[in-house]
């Protein structure tokens, strides 16, 4: 029996590991498949984060008597060949992966005679269990959420605590190091995150989450997405923590801490959606009526957006945050995605791919869901005629310009009143050279977007 780690780099709440331990497995494998990951557009920072967690896992497994072999196999084909060559006929114990190429690889292995014992480890409520009255997947979030909560109330959920290990892993704490976005060293390893950062968030920030989660200059969100994306922390563990703190959460839903669970249910929504609509991975518009949209895809506009040079401070600061740190605040993801699609009329798929190549927390289902929501082509999406005004978004969510000044230091001296659109002020001060003119004018861009989408609406 071989335990095969893929997108589940953890020992806690890992059903495949629990099964392998029960059945006396002694060896495990993890493939480093950089070529394949690049085909899937994964960023350098995400890859670095994975490799660090594979090393952590290796030392944790050692204490459980399992030897983790970390093997380079460039592509999925190389993985299949390696397994066939070295482990033919054996049972492979895995946690399922949801995405298409991953599933195709697994069926190739079954065809090649492997017995795959697989488990589900990426969601709280099993996929396929939250359905509407006709037995189909919901296409709107709120009824999905109600049914999801009712399922958990009635059935509970599984959780497998960590196998006992006693080693001190402090020697694996992140080293001080390069700030280059290729390195993930600023992100603590999952064991440290669950000991320090997460309890700190639960204790001090959860109560204020509903208010602070939309303010990019405040560290009001958990920062857990990167760990969920590579399976280093289990989503079921988060519900365990929430219920320890708020035993009535599922029935009473107190506003202040329910909003965090609400976001975790959004994550589940998009994963269940991909399970029911696996072809989403092929890049189509969820709402088929938009598949004919003739996106102009002006390359200069796409470049300006990617480089944070649109002349809209909130958009540019957000893109600088992404380019410099490998992460972007959710409110800003919504603003820049709306701006790229609706103001610049660039195909959402190009934005989706750029995010994949930059984000440490890149996850196909959440990213695709977020982009299609923003572009108006998705399931329960923002309608095409709701177009974020970058100026009012900036005034509302970064009122004093604190976030803008952090990522656009050239605007540090601009007074709060002008920070959201500083061009007139800079002109008056004779400083027009320090910031770019706006790439498009909001009112005109809005009208063009309305006309563009209307053709197919």
Ligand X SMILES: Cc1cc2nc3c(=O)[nH]c(=O)nc-3n(C[C@H](O)[C@H](O)[C@H](O)COP(=O)(O)OP(=O)(O)OC[C@H]3O[C@@H](n4cnc5c(N)ncnc54)[C@H](O)[C@@H]3O)c2cc1C
Distance separating alpha carbons of residues 68 and 54, to the nearest angstrom = 9
Residue 404 binds ligand X (CB under 6 A): no
Which is nearer to ligand X, 160 or 359 (by Cβ)? 359
Distance separating alpha carbons of residues 377 and 4, to the nearest angstrom = 37
Figure out which of the listed residues 42, 144, 270, 452 binds ligand X, where binding follows CB under 6 A: 270
Q: What tokens does 192 get? A: 């440290």
Phi, psi angles (nearest 5°) of residue 383: -60, 155
Single out the segment in contact with ligand X by CB under 6 A; choices: 7-15, 100-108, 123-131, 266-274: 266-274
Distance separating alpha carbons of residues 312 and 322, to the nearest angstrom = 16
Figure out which of the listed residues 109, 304, 359, 381 binds ligand X, where binding follows CB under 6 A: 359
Figure out which of the listed residues 362, 384, 421, 453 binds ligand X, where binding follows CB under 6 A: 362
Residue 337 binds ligand X (CB under 6 A): yes
Q: Looking only at residues 14 through 53 of this chain, which bind ligand X when binding is defined by CB under 6 A?
A: none
Which is nearer to ligand X, 265 or 445 (by Cβ)? 265
∠ Cα 309 315 319 (to 5°): 70
Residue 363 binds ligand X (CB under 6 A): yes
Distance separating alpha carbons of residues 148 and 376, to the nearest angstrom = 24
Figure out which of the listed residues 74, 99, 102, 263 binds ligand X, where binding follows CB under 6 A: 263
Q: What tokens does 399 get? A: 């009122």
Residue 355 binds ligand X (CB under 6 A): yes
Single out the segment in contact with ligand X by CB under 6 A; choices: 3-11, 40-48, 69-77, 331-339: 331-339
Q: How far is the CB of 365 from ligand X (least distance, A)?
A: 8
Going from the C-alpha of 67 to that of each of 2, 12, 40, 245, the distances in angstroms are 10, 17, 28, 36
Scored b (16 or more CB within 10 A) or e, 415-454 reads eeebbbbbeebbeeeeeeeebeebbbebeebbebbeebbe
Distance separating alpha carbons of residues 8 and 11, to the nearest angstrom = 8
CA neighbor of 16 nearest in space, from 32, 33, 38, 1:
1
- The residues annotated as belonging to the active site are 263, 266, 295, 330, 348, 371
User: Contact 125/159 with Cβ under 8 angstroms?
Assistant: no
Our CA dihedral for 230, 231, 232, 236, rounded to 10 degrees, sits at 150
For the residues of 34-48, what is the DSSP string, one character each?
HHHHHHTT--HHHHH
Q: How far is the CB of 325 from ligand X (least distance, A)?
A: 12
User: Contact 435/426 with Cβ under 8 angstroms?
Assistant: yes
Figure out which of the listed residues 30, 141, 286, 371 binds ligand X, where binding follows CB under 6 A: 371
Figure out which of the listed residues 31, 266, 312, 452 binds ligand X, where binding follows CB under 6 A: 266
Residue 363: half-sphere exposure toward Cβ, Cα within 13 Å? 23
For the residues of 371-394, what is the DSSP string, one character each?
HHHHHT-STTPPPTT----HHHHH
Q: How far is the CB of 149 from ligand X (least distance, A)?
A: 16
Which is nearer to ligand X, 206 or 439 (by Cβ)? 206
Residue with tokens 């102009």: 296
Single out the segment in contact with ligand X by CB under 6 A; choices: 46-54, 184-192, 328-336, 419-427: 328-336
User: Contact 354/306 with Cβ under 8 angstroms?
Assistant: yes
Single out the segment in contact with ligand X by CB under 6 A; choices: 28-36, 249-257, 360-368, 429-437: 360-368
Residue 403 binds ligand X (CB under 6 A): no
Q: Looking only at residues 201 through 260 of this chain, which bind ligand X when binding is defined by CB under 6 A?
A: 213, 221-225, 228-229
Single out the segment in contact with ligand X by CB under 6 A; choices: 64-72, 119-127, 265-273, 438-446: 265-273
Other Cβ atoms less than 10 A from the Cβ of 376: the count is 24
Q: How far is the CB of 417 from ligand X (least distance, A)?
A: 29
Which is nearer to ligand X, 163 or 174 (by Cβ)? 174
| 428 alpha carbon, distance to own chain's centre | 42
Number of residues forming the site for ligand X (CB under 6 A): 28
Point out the residue whose Cβ comes nearest to ligand X. 370
Residue 126 binds ligand X (CB under 6 A): no
Residue 333 binds ligand X (CB under 6 A): yes
Q: How far is the CB of 290 from ligand X (least distance, A)?
A: 16
Residue 122 binds ligand X (CB under 6 A): no
Single out the segment in contact with ligand X by CB under 6 A; choices: 161-169, 299-307, 330-338, 433-441: 330-338
Binding mask 140-179 for ligand X (x = CB under 6 A): ----------------------------------------
Q: What tokens does 176 get? A: 């001080």
**117 has which bridge partners?**
93
Q: By the criterion CB under 6 A, which residues form the site for ligand X?
A: 213, 221-225, 228-229, 263-264, 266-267, 270, 330, 333-334, 337, 355, 359, 361-363, 366-367, 369-371, 374
């Amino acid at each position: 029996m071989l335990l095969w780690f893929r997108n589940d780099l953890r020992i806690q709440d890992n059903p495949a590991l629990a099964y392998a331990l029960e059945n006396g497995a002694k060896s495990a494998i993890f493939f480093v498949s950089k070529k394949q990951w690049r085909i899937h557009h994964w960023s350098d920072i995400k890859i670095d984060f994975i490799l660090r967690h594979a090393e952590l896992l290796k030392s944790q497994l050692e204490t459980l008597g399992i030897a983790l072999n970390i093997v380079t196999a460039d592509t999925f084909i190389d993985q299949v060949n390696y397994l066939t060559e070295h482990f033919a006929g054996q049972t492979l114990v895995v946690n399922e992966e949801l995405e298409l190429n991953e599933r195709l690889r697994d069926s190739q292995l079954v065809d090649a005679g492997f017995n795959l014992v697989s488990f589900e480890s990426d969601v709280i409520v099993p996929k396929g269990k939250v359905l509407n009255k006709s037995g189909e997947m919901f296409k709107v979030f709120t009824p999905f959420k109600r049914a999801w909560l009712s399922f958990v109330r009635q059935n509970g959920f599984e959780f497998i605590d960590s196998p006992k290990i006693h080693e001190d892993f402090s020697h694996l704490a992140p080293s001080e190091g390069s700030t280059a976005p290729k390195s993930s060293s600023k992100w603590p390893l999952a064991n440290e995150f669950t000991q320090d950062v997460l309890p700190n968030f639960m204790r001090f920030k959860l109560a204020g989450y509903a208010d602070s989660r939309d303010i990019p200059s405040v560290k009001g969100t958990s920062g857990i997405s990167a760990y969920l994306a590579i399976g280093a922390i289990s989503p079921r563990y988060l519900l365990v923590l929430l219920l320890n703190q708020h035993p009535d959460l599922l029935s009473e839903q107190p506003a202040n801490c329910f909003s965090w669970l609400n976001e975790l249910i959004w994550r589940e929504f998009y994963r269940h959606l991909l399970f029911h609509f696996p072809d989403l991975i092929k890049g189509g518009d969820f709402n088929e009526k938009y598949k004919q949209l003739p996106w102009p895809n002006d390359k200069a506009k796409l470049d300006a957006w990617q480089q944070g040079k649109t002349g809209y401070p909130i958009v540019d600061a957000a893109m600088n945050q992404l380019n410099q740190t490998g992460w972007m605040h959710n409110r800003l993801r919504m603003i820049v995605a709306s701006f790229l699609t609706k103001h610049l009329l660039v195909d959402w798929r190009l934005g989706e791919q750029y995010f994949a190549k930059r984000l440490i927390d890149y996850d196909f289902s959440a990213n695709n869901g977020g982009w299609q929501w923003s572009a108006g082509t998705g399931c329960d999406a923002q309608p095409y005629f709701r177009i974020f005004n970058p100026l009012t978004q900036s005034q509302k969510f970064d009122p004093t310009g604190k976030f803008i000044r952090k990522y656009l230091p050239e605007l540090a001296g601009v007074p709060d009143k002008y920070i959201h659109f500083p061009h007139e002020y800079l002109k008056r001060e004779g400083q027009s050279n320090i910031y770019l003119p706006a790439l498009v004018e909001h009112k005109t861009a809005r009208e063009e977007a309305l006309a563009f989408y209307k053709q197919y609406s």
